[in-house]
Structure 1
Amino acid sequence: MHSRKRDFYASKSSGCSNLSELDISHVPRLLNPYRKAQVNSSIIWQSFDHPGDTWMPGGWLGFNKITGEYLSITCWENPENPARGPFSESLDPDGSNQYVLLYNGSQVYWSSGLWNGQYFSSVPGTAQQTVFNFTFVDNRERKYAMYTITDSSVITRFVVGSSGLGQQFLWLSNRQEWQPVFTQPLSHCDVPSLCGPFGLCDLESPSLCRCPQGFEPVLNEEWELNDWNLGCKRKTQLKCGTKSNLNREGEERDGFFMMINMRLPSNGEKLMVISAEECEMACLNNCSCSAYSFDTSCLIWTANLQNLQQLYSGDHGGGTVYLRLAAADLPSTNNSHKVKTVVIVSLVGGLLGMVIVLFGLIWLCRRWRKSQILSKVEGSLIRFSYGDLRHATKNFSEKLGGGGFGSVFKGALPDSTQVAVKKLEGSRQGEKQFQAEVLTLGAIQHINLLRLCGFCCESSQRLLVYEFMPNGSLDSVLFKKDSDIMLSWNMRYRISLGIARGLAYLHEECRECIIHCDIKPGNILLDADFKAKVADFGMAKLIGRDFSRVLTTMRGTIGYLAPEWISGLPISPKVDVYSFGMMLFEIISGQRNSMHFEEGSKYYYPSWAAQKVIEGDEKCLLDSRLGGEADLEEVRRASRVACWCIQDAEMDRPIMGQVVQSLEGVLEVDVPRIPRSLQHLMEDQISHMYDDVSSVAEQGASESSQGGYK
């Protein structure tokens, strides 16, 4: 964080008066923002009127109604150059009572939400009220906001970085480093024009920004400082071509490089053409055209490409961009090599064609039945016949598991893709209702959610086809005595973070809020790389975005049920947060969330674990099989998150988005309090609760290692 340059901005109080701990004797008199002039005891100059890139406690940001000037903070050009950069934070220029992050002083890419009298609506209230005290003033002279510190021992600052992120930092004296506690926007690639013209934002790239095929940085020196504003330039200039393979000078014409799974720039021009070939020619014959894309319609870009982003599996909104390049920059552009390749391919193709003609009909007849599988519904979902799935599963011979909703069988498609087929039992849904629910599930795509591949709906048969998870369920890996798999701490932490991301997607990013209702290790599946996949969200409850909670019948598994389930109260997504907290204790300890017997006494494990977290003895929760090999800071963070998740009152539990940020280390996790229900829970109360929901417990116990398929 370049502490030597920035520590000057750190304040240890709610205003600017208590600065005794800062050594400012070496600062010249007229440049010292904290030294008052001796003439008439008035302030000649102060840093709060010139905040640079940092908003300090006691400083103000807003609008001077007399001069018409906005007081804002602006990022550095790069971490080594304090010149003004393109990103800033200011009171909304449109006049609303909110703060915005701006690109080039005009393009808004994040807003704080309107001031509601206590805090800004889009910033979590707890982040503003626990340590910070916000004040919003609107009088005849000025409209501005100011924040102070309620704890004089806290050192904090808000900075707009050269990468466009707005971050609130706290100084951790024990580590001698700055800890970010609030970051917006959450993704670097949501910052507009971060990588400059033709720059490509790639979250998996070591340098975040990179140049696409045929391009190079405009200034390598600035890219080495993570200053990408100037973007990329072409290695070879374009040569405006014609419809022939050669342009007027006899040189090979420009071509296109295919870039798949890209976020499309927003400034495209739509053309009325009906085919990809026409779209390509329209771009090629336009000397200003830089790229085109064709899906169901044609888009071309005649200016510099801005906001290009490489997407990955689980991301939405991806498309294919064809980037225009000079012939010299296209892969394998040697013309003679192309001619030789065409001749060889033609000869070989002719010989193979004769063979194909002889055996084609026989092959087509044999493949006809299997090709019926490829009839697709609504995009990516495949509609299978019952005969297809009976053949794929060898007449349902290899059973993976089963539960209250049906049995799961292993199968293989004609292309050898392994799948898990769930045969639903007791389903009374009509065909239209079943297909509507299946299409809703099929639209849910995330790297940490089990993917639905297809379905079958014939007569009374209802089957769902899922991707196959070779490592089974988290339940079998954690608790099965004869399991030959031992999860390291790093794997457990990655699994916990993956589950949290999947639930955050269901709760906060889907069109309708989806409550899973049965989070437990048996419903978490592991792929070949031990990445977590949340399964069985087919029994979930959908809530419209206009509602915060819903009244429904109790479902789920004993030991993971939130108190509002037991009380019969309306539920919200916080029931999943509670279940996640209980399961997180199990992942940390490798012990089931139940009664334990030790040396003639018994105790309820979650209550004991929560007490250890309060006492700061989180290390004793760690699975003894790990032999103490774990990152103790991650153990502390995960244990505190689990304890916060199982609080009695749902308002005291975090949302899953905050859980993700806490596990990622973006948010600091305070010491929680022990839940009151666990603190006073007696043995007879536990037995009574188990008796009341014994039928639910029996159903949960019957789930097997693949019971998470729904």
Structure 2
Amino acid sequence: MSHPRTHRAAMHWAESLLLLLFLLLIPFSHAWSFDYPSPIANLPSLWTNNNATIPYSATYPDGSKIRAILVRPNPAWYSPFFACGFICTTPCNAFLFAIFSLSIGDPSNPAFNTSSTPRIMWTANRSRLVKDNASLQFTKDGNLILRDFDGSLVWSTNTSDSHVVGMNLDETGNMVLFDIMGKTVWESFEHPTDTLLIGQSLRQGKRLTSDSLATNWTKGQFYLTVLGKGLYAFIESDPPQLYYQRRFNITGAIVHQKINISSDGAKNNTTYISFLKGSLSAFVSFNNTDIKLFDISLPWPSSAQFMSLENDGHLRVHRWDGIMWKPQADVLHVDLDDCAYPTVCGEYGICSEGQCSCPTQNFGDEDQFFHQLDNRQPDMGCSLAIPLSCDLIQYQQLLPLPNVTYFNLGKNWITDEYSCKDACLKACSCKAVFFEYHSVSNGSCYLMPKVLSLMNYKPEVDGYNLSAYIKVQRLPPPPRRKKLNPTAYHVGAPIIVAVICIIILIIRKIVKKKMEDEDPFKGLAGMPTRFSYKQLREATDNFSKKLGQGGFGPVYEGKLGNVKIAVKCLRDFGHGEEEFMAEVITIGSIHHINLVRLIGYCSDKFHRLLVYEHMSNGSLDKWIFRKNPSGSLSWATRYRIILDIAKGLAYLHEECRQKIAHLDIKPGNILLDDKFNAKISDFGLAKLIDRDESHVMTKIRGTRGYLAPEWLSSTITEKADIYSFGVVVLEIVSGRKNLDNNQPEASSNLINLLQEKIKVGQVLDILDNQSEDIQLHGEEMIEVIKLAVWCLQRECSKRPAMSQVVKVLEGAIDTETSAGYDTTGKDDIFDASSPLSPSPVSAR
């Protein structure tokens, strides 16, 4: 029997070759009798996202729009079509380039049927949506490129020079780029998003990632992946938490469809997911009367279907009922009941037989530690009546929850129950604790840093015995009153009771107000740990070891347990308040390998401190501006540092919910760990930019020598960081500062010096230390300098996006060649005829 992938490739080859021959014989505009776009495109082609250039468009009752570029008609008019093109949801100010299903009217009216909303099967750019007048270009060298309206690169197949001759949207919904022999060069099936179609594989290491909401196409928090030992589903957290696993000896899973003809002539359709290796031949099986998922049977009347990982963590199979797609089965349901999903009842919610409630303890109203976020929607979750505070850790207690467990208990260690609970009470980061009994004296202890949905269980049925405790906060007790003699009590009891009640109320209000006033981040989700000043004073040995001096105060080395930390103290308290707020809010809830991690903060009446991970090799400026050549960094290390900075900025600009402009990129704010991996730090001047904002207005901020020209107008985008990055790259390559008064007057400005050296073809003369690296890596240095010059364009629109910079450094794309390089605003231009003409940067 032939392999399904081989069969599919053969079908692609045959169909693509026939289509090519057919299109060579007749004009492109007459290739199809119905008024649809062709399912195939030749190169070069260009489509612009507007109704004028893409006439095959439709608007749906819910406000969503499509602009179809390729359409694959279905022989059965009542079955869905596949199309690719631009699609948006109301208010339709941002678009995806996607593959989606469509329905049409009857054969006499082949227009798109707007009564059935299109369903997205695959998308290229859900991390970065595009606007009207964005473009999709099928270039003459065989690359498919998506650019936004401003020309910035959003996505590419990276198939340049792969002998691609055409693009085909096939009958399974797979978009294929093929060569002259019909061989597949690139296909959307190999890059799944949240959906698997019939014939599509989920291969080892690949993921299905859910959308964040049903109406929001950005990446969600659930993902399904095939690893070496089976199928696994996770919810994103730090670290990711596993909520489903099915172990097999496999390398991937694939959805198939077969049609068997019985003796009476009836067709029996069977669709199944099978694994490419291993003993299990069918994981999910459908036929014309039922669906069998191990021992589950449900009606299944249709063979048109897909499988989708959805925003609640369920993996559902959908079928076409002739009008619309309808969910039919939950693939994971054989192993997971409704309560086993991480967000089924929201944070702190307890799920019992599909119903949600909050943790309670029947000691009276004063002990109601939780309340529902929305009484009408219990599945929204619960919140603590009094938020946990590390400064009041001595007034925290563990609330027992009988017969409650968690979807993933994670790592554990063996101890007794008392020590397990005590460890949680002493750890500020611990929000809940679970203890599984092995014997009378010991068991497994699990400390939970975050609490998602909980669930009830029955020990006698499930076969294990687990104690669960949730950490709750109490307020400090009121002052103790003195004991009165009986006579005084009888005389003044009513007055004393009234006074005590008033005092208690006043104390509670004062404590509550003190907590709110002293913690400006109270109530904000995802904030790092709050420390007391006493904790950090002890961690730094009374601030005895100074690491350096920041813009708003010194930085000290410390230790929390066995973990080294760096504590930044804001001495100029009033002036540094805005920077403190910006730093915590900006990076408190984001994590990336090339951003310095903010562990926590201290905020009280007199102190503002920030706690970071310790970076053993300090800041970059100490390494690249050294006078002693023997201590300088190798070219390989400097190249890796440049790439690390670019990846960190690309994450801030393009992958966060809001764009983050750092606005103070310089070597002093780039820190190096023990392996010289670079991480961006110091977000005190950062600005958040909404995705629908093109710029922000702000006062001048940053460091002289790294400020982009547009600061003169105070109209700033994330492109200001790209200019600063270009300056830093030149400094890393040259080993000298951009503005250096110790240099001769003609050489004090590095950018001006570079411009002069380019004119005479002596680019590498800008290097301070003429070392062996020039002989060994001179060409690579020149290529990186070209990239820096591209980033230093006076007009910010001509600078690349940081994702482009990363791809250039990784060798995936070339440096921009379409324009000259104007870094000064004067008449001096780095044009393509100069010795520094752009070309690809070597990958490392």
Q: CA deviation at 1:654?
A: 2.3
AA partner of residue 536 (structure 2):
L
1:123 to 147, 151, 154: 147
1:577 and 2:722 aligned: yes
Whole-angstrom CA distance in 2 between matches of 1:29 and 1:388: 72
Cα RMSD over matched residues? 6.3
2:750 to 596, 600, 605: 605
Change (3 A) 1:505 1:170: farther
Q: CA deviation at 1:115?
A: 5.0
**Number of the residue aligned with 1:340:** none
Whole-angstrom CA distance in 1 between matches of 2:169 and 2:668: 43
Give the structure with the higher percent helix.
1
Whole-angstrom CA distance in 2 between matches of 1:463 and 1:94: 43
Whole-angstrom CA distance in 2 between matches of 1:217 and 1:103: 33
1:643 and 2:789 aligned: yes
State the secondary structure of the residue aligned to 2:573.
Answer: coil
Q: CA deviation at 1:383?
A: 1.9
**Number of the residue aligned with 1:292:** 340
Change (3 A) 1:424 1:658: same
1:392 and 2:539 aligned: yes
Q: CA deviation at 1:653?
A: 1.8
Q: CA deviation at 1:504?
A: 2.6
1:18-58 C-alpha deviation (Å, 9 max, x unpaired): xxxxxxxxx99994753679xxxx99999xx9977654226
Change (3 A) 1:533 1:53: farther
1:631-667 C-alpha deviation (Å, 9 max, x unpaired): 6775454322211111112222223233233333343
1:274-314 C-alpha deviation (Å, 9 max, x unpaired): xxxxxxxxx999677599333535799x9xxxxxxxxxxxx
Q: CA deviation at 1:517?
A: 1.7
**Number of the residue aligned with 1:504:** 650
Q: Contact 1:455/1:463 (CA < 8 Å) preserved in 2?
A: yes
Whole-angstrom CA distance in 2 between matches of 1:417 and 1:478: 28
Change (3 A) 1:45 1:456: closer
Change (3 A) 1:558 1:289: same
Q: CA deviation at 1:538?
A: 1.5
1:468 and 2:516 aligned: no
1:558 and 2:561 aligned: no
Change (3 A) 1:552 1:43: closer
1:137-187 C-alpha deviation (Å, 9 max, x unpaired): xxxxxxxxxxxxxxxx9998674799999799999xxxxxx999xx999x9
Whole-angstrom CA distance in 1 between matches of 2:564 and 2:795: 43
Whole-angstrom CA distance in 1 between matches of 2:793 and 2:646: 17
Whole-angstrom CA distance in 2 between matches of 1:475 and 1:165: 50
AA partner of residue 663 (structure 2):
C
2:598 to 431, 439, 452: 452
Q: CA deviation at 1:473?
A: 0.9
1:190 to 188, 193, 206: 193
- With normalisation by structure 1, the TM-score equals 0.55
State the secondary structure of the residue aligned to 1:294.
Answer: coil
AA partner of residue 89 (structure 1):
C
**Number of the residue aligned with 1:660:** 806
Change (3 A) 1:220 1:558: closer
1:592 and 2:728 aligned: no
Q: Contact 1:264/1:321 (CA < 8 Å) preserved in 2?
A: no
1:266 and 2:311 aligned: yes
1:424-450 C-alpha deviation (Å, 9 max, x unpaired): 021217999966863454123222211
**Number of the residue aligned with 1:370:** none
2:43 to 26, 48, 56: 56
Q: CA deviation at 1:535?
A: 0.7
Whole-angstrom CA distance in 2 between matches of 1:169 and 1:588: 41
Q: Contact 1:595/1:603 (CA < 8 Å) preserved in 2?
A: yes
Q: Contact 2:641/2:676 (CA < 8 Å) preserved in 1?
A: yes
Change (3 A) 1:104 1:648: same
Q: CA deviation at 1:218?
A: 7.3
**Number of the residue aligned with 1:417:** 563
Change (3 A) 1:477 1:431: closer
AA partner of residue 540 (structure 1):
A
Whole-angstrom CA distance in 1 between matches of 2:660 and 2:813: 25
**Number of the residue aligned with 2:553:** 406
State the secondary structure of the residue aligned to 1:466.
Answer: strand
**Number of the residue aligned with 1:72:** 70
Whole-angstrom CA distance in 1 between matches of 2:634 and 2:179: 32
Change (3 A) 1:595 1:658: same
1:251-283 C-alpha deviation (Å, 9 max, x unpaired): xxxxxxxxxxxx97536469xxxxxxxxxxxx9
1:102 and 2:99 aligned: yes
1:522 and 2:668 aligned: yes
**Number of the residue aligned with 2:834:** none
Specify every segment of 5 or more residues in structure 1 that has no aligned partner in the other structure, as ranges: 10-26, 75-85, 130-152, 172-177, 224-228, 240-262, 271-282, 303-319, 324-343, 351-374, 682-710
Q: Percent identity?
A: 33
AA partner of residue 266 (structure 1):
N
Whole-angstrom CA distance in 2 between matches of 1:429 and 1:599: 37
Structure of higher RCO (CA pairs closer than 8 Å, 6+ residues apart)? 1
Whole-angstrom CA distance in 1 between matches of 2:624 and 2:576: 39
Whole-angstrom CA distance in 2 between matches of 1:214 and 1:169: 36
1:549 to 695, 708, 713: 695
Q: Contact 1:597/1:603 (CA < 8 Å) preserved in 2?
A: yes
Whole-angstrom CA distance in 1 between matches of 2:669 and 2:46: 50
Q: Contact 1:269/1:299 (CA < 8 Å) preserved in 2?
A: no
Q: CA deviation at 1:462?
A: 1.3
1:220-260 C-alpha deviation (Å, 9 max, x unpaired): 7989xxxxx95648867999xxxxxxxxxxxxxxxxxxxxx
Q: CA deviation at 1:588?
A: 2.3
Whole-angstrom CA distance in 2 between matches of 1:73 and 1:58: 16
**Number of the residue aligned with 1:89:** 84
Q: Contact 2:273/2:282 (CA < 8 Å) preserved in 1?
A: no
Change (3 A) 1:193 1:200: farther
Whole-angstrom CA distance in 2 between matches of 1:634 and 1:165: 39
Whole-angstrom CA distance in 1 between matches of 2:624 and 2:665: 15
Q: Contact 1:517/1:541 (CA < 8 Å) preserved in 2?
A: yes
State the secondary structure of the residue aligned to 1:499.
Answer: helix
State the secondary structure of the residue aligned to 1:492.
Answer: helix
- With normalisation by structure 2, the TM-score equals 0.48
Whole-angstrom CA distance in 1 between matches of 2:699 and 2:178: 44
Q: Contact 2:578/2:684 (CA < 8 Å) preserved in 1?
A: no
1:34 and 2:24 aligned: yes
AA partner of residue 805 (structure 2):
V
Q: Contact 2:579/2:685 (CA < 8 Å) preserved in 1?
A: no
State the secondary structure of the residue aligned to 2:195.
Answer: coil
Q: Contact 1:411/1:419 (CA < 8 Å) preserved in 2?
A: yes
Change (3 A) 1:491 1:45: same
Q: Contact 1:87/1:101 (CA < 8 Å) preserved in 2?
A: no
Whole-angstrom CA distance in 2 between matches of 1:430 and 1:522: 18
Give the structure with the higher percent strand.
2
Q: Contact 2:706/2:727 (CA < 8 Å) preserved in 1?
A: yes
Specify every segment of 5 or more residues in structure 2 that has no aligned partner in the other structure, as ranges: 1-5, 48-52, 58-66, 73-80, 103-117, 138-144, 154-160, 208-224, 232-244, 256-271, 284-307, 316-330, 355-404, 409-436, 444-520, 829-844
Q: How many residues align?
A: 514
Whole-angstrom CA distance in 2 between matches of 1:582 and 1:501: 16
1:536 and 2:560 aligned: no
Q: Contact 2:666/2:706 (CA < 8 Å) preserved in 1?
A: yes
1:596-634 C-alpha deviation (Å, 9 max, x unpaired): 999996463223435666888766667743524766775
State the secondary structure of the residue aligned to 1:558.
Answer: coil
Whole-angstrom CA distance in 2 between matches of 1:30 and 1:524: 53
Whole-angstrom CA distance in 1 between matches of 2:765 and 2:177: 33
Q: CA deviation at 1:502?
A: 1.9
1:172-218 C-alpha deviation (Å, 9 max, x unpaired): xxxxxx999xx999x94636338968766448xxxx95443644477
**Number of the residue aligned with 1:691:** none
Change (3 A) 1:428 1:114: closer
